[in-house]
Amino acid sequence: MTKDTQKRVRQEQEIRELVDELTPQGLTIAVRMLGSREEGEEAVQDALIRLLRQLGRFREESRLSTWFCRITVNECKRRLARRRPRTVPIEEIPESGLQAPEGGLLQTLEQAEQRRIIERAIAHLSAIQRTAIVLYYLKEYSCIEVGKVLKLDRKIVAVYVFRARKTLGPLFRKGELMP
């Protein structure tokens, strides 16, 4: 195997590992922000291409995953901005198509229904509240980490998270998610 081929094989492997590392987090953000698996996957795909094109500029000022989060969030924001603003009735928002978890059938159905209600409720939030709360509960980020992704002060992030929780409360209750 020539030196060039070896390097190529090694870099292909590295790129696969990079995709494996970044995609789950990016996809969770995108699907929750956009409320659709299909659109979420498109957004992640575009974000990944953007990241690869700009990888040479990465200077370790932030973590690579934080940088990818930011690119994904920006891509989702662009997509949300292109949508015509309208009030969506909770019943109309599509499911993200999450895979069913393991467990008994009844439990599985209950969990799937709970997720459906939560995702529909998230779709009711404003773009910034949605972004803040999705990131906050992603891997249990802190307001500081969310602030780094959104380039906002942690106190401002806390306010958005607070408002999002306040909006979600009645929606969860309406969907009978309250214990």
Instruction: Between 31 and 80, name the residue whose CB sits nearer to another protein.
Output: 31
CB of 70 to another protein, least distance (A): 14
Instruction: Between 4 and 85, name the residue whose CB sits nearer to another protein.
Output: 4
Map tokens 């198509």 to a residue: 97
* Binding positions for another protein, rule: CB under 8 A: 4, 7-8, 10-12, 14-25, 27-28, 31-32, 37, 40-41, 44-45, 48-49, 52-53, 55-56, 58, 60, 63-65, 96, 98-99, 101, 114-115, 118, 133, 137-138, 140, 142-143, 154, 158, 161-162, 165-166, 168-170, 172-173, 177-179
CB of 92 to another protein, least distance (A): 20
CB of 27 to another protein, least distance (A): 5
